[in-house]
Structure formats: structure tokens, C-alpha cells
Structure 1
Amino acid sequence: MLYEIASFLLDVAGGLITGACLLRLYMQRRRAPFGNPVGQMLFVFSDWLVLPLRKLVPAIGGWDTACLVGAVLAQLAQYLALMLLLGSGFALLPWLVVFGTVRVAVWGLMLLIILHAVLSWVPSRSPITGLLALLAEPLLAPVRRLLPTMGGVDLSPLIVLVLLQVCLIVLGNLQRGALF
């Protein structure tokens, strides 16, 4: 029971820090403004990790690799703490870190699509609505081109969510195959 509680708490903390670093990377890539509540929250969760890493890790091809390294380091710390609690499994650590980072990215995209879809149902003047549209549109636009609207209803968020869920299933099977 204590291991489960520790695992859950580490997963929450590691997921928040990893997700903040990955969202910061994605927002920078999409040239999203950071002067909104989401951007300010990302700074709180990731500045302490990303800013020192920028001194050590240069940007590559316009990508802020310090954010990516920060996400990987957060997952490394999470799984290392779990391995220390278990006292074994250190050989699996690189695989767990890779799969954990990708899993957080997929879950983050799913949350982004859900928030965008829900907020699109109600009129809103919130700056977060525009930010969510900016971030979700690259995922939804290709599906919209392939799938016509049905009765004025945009089903692209549903299709993208299903595809992301399939990615999680494939990822889980790949992880089990690599670990066992």
C-alpha cells in the first residue's frame, strides 16, 4: 500500500513537471504567447529546471532542447525514486524514462483536445480559449480535411482522441514487451 501511494505521488509530481516542460516546448514551437495564465503557470512549474539547463544544453534547430531534457530528467527522477523504493529494476530505467515521457506527452495532447472541445461549446472571451485553439489546431486540422462535418458537428476532436488512445494502448504494449 505504501509503495502504491508513493508511486502515485511520484507519478503526479513527475507528470506535472514533465508535462510543464513538454507544454512549454510545444508552446514555444507554436509561438504561443506566454503572457496568459497557462504560460505563467508553466514558468512556475518549469523555470527552476529549464533555465539552468539552457546554460548547459543549446537549442537545436529552433527547438528548446532544455525543455525536452528537463522533461526527461523529471521522468528519470520519478522512476529512479521508484527503483530505489523497490531496490531493483535499475536496468529498466532508460526504457521507463522514454515510455514515461511519451506517455505524458500523449496524455497532455488528450487533455488539450478535451479542453479545446469543451470550451468551443460555450462562448468565451478568455485568453485561454485562443491559446487552446492555437495549440489544438495542428492536431485537428488534418482530420477535419479528411472528415466532413456531420450536421454542423465537428467530430475531429473525437477522432483525434480515439487515435491518441490507440497510441497509449500501443505504447503500453510496447512498454510491456520491452520490459518483460
Structure 2
Amino acid sequence: MFFQIATFLLDVAAGLLGGACLLRAYMQHQRIPFGNPVGRFIFALTDWIVLPLRKLLPGYKRWDFASILAAFLFELAQFVVLALMVGGGYAAVPVLALFGLVRLVISGMTGLVIVYAILSWVNADSPMVDVIDRLASPMLRPFRRMIPLVGGFDLSPLALLVVLQVLAIIVANLQAALLR
């Protein structure tokens, strides 16, 4: 029971901090200004680790490698603590952290698409709507080219969610096969 609780708490902490770092990198890649509430929250949550890492690993063009490295480090720390609790399996920790980072990207994209779909139905006048739209639109664009509107409804978020779930299954099976 203790191990399950610790695993859950570590997963929440690494997911929140790592996801914030990945969102920071994605927002910078999409050139979304950080003056909005989402951007200010992301900066407040990640500046303490990203800024020192940026001195070691500068960005290139629109890619913020320091934020991506920070997300990986959070996943790595999570699996190091779990390996210490179990008492072994240290060789697999970097591989688990890499798979954890990929799962974090997939779950972050899934969450973003779900929030986008809900906000598109509600038609909210929030400053976050523009930010969420600018973040989700590049992922939805290929699906919108292939899937026409059905009765005035955009089914591209649903199609993207299906693809993301398939990717999550593939990643989980690939991880299991590599760690056998």
C-alpha cells in the first residue's frame, strides 16, 4: 500500500512539473506570449529549474531544450526514487524516464485536446480560449484536412484523441517489450 501511494504521489509531482516544462517548451515553439494567465503560471512553476539549465543548454531557433531536459529530469528523478524504494533496477531508470517523458507528451496532448473541445462547445470568452486554440490547432490541422464537418461539428478532436490513445498503447507495449 505504501509503495502504491508513493508511486502515485511521485507520478503526480513529476507529471505536473514535467508537464509544465513541456508546455513551456511547446508555448515557446508556437510563439505564444507568456503574458496570459497560463503563461504566468507556467513561468512561476518552472523558472527555478529551466533558467539554470538554459545556461548549460541554450535553445536553438524555436526549440527550448532546457525545458525539455527539465521535464526529462523530473521523470528521471521519479524513477530513481522508485528504484531506491524497490532496491534495484537502476540500469532501466533512464529508459523508464524516456518512456515516461513520451507518455507525458501523449497525456499532455490528450488533456489539451479535451480542454479545447470543451471550450469550443461552450464558446467561453476567457483569455485562455485563445491560448488553448493556438496550442491545439497545429495538432488538429492535419485531421481537419481529412475529416469534413459532420452536421456542423468538427470531429477532428475525436480523431486525434483516438490516434493519441493508439500511440499510448504502442508506447506501453514497446516499453514492456524492451524491459523484459
TM-score bracket, shorter-length normalisation: over 0.9
1:50 and 2:64 correspond? no
Runs of 5+ in structure 1 lacking a partner? none
Alpha-carbon shift at residue 141 of structure 1 (Å) = 1.0
1:66 aligns with 2:66: yes
Cα deviation, residue 62, structure 1: 3.0
Specify the SS of the correspondent of 1:121: helix
Name the counterpart of 1:108: 108
Within the alignment, does 1:39 sit opposite 2:66 as a pair? no
1:4-153 matched pairs, under 5 angstroms: 4-153=4-153
- TM-score norm. by structure 1 comes to 0.98
Q: Residue 123 of structure 1: CA displacement?
A: 2.3
- Using the aligned pairs only, state the percent identity: 52
Deviation string 1:18-42 (CA, Å, 9 cap, x unpaired) is: 1000000000000112111111111
Deviation at 1:61, TM superposition (A): 3.7
Structure 1's consecutive aligned runs of 4 or more residues displaced over 6 angstroms after TM superposition are none
Distance 1:31 1:61, change over 3 A: closer
Question: Which amino acid in 2 is paired with 1:150?
Answer: V
* Structure 2: gaps (5+ residues): none
- Deviation of residue 131 (structure 1)? 0.5
Letter of the aligned partner of 1:15 in structure 2?
Answer: G
Task: Report if aligned partners of 2:28, 2:62 keep a CA contact under 8 Å in 1.
Answer: no
2:172 paired with 1:177: no
RMSD: 0.8
TM-score with structure 2 setting the length? 0.98
* Number of aligned residue pairs: 180
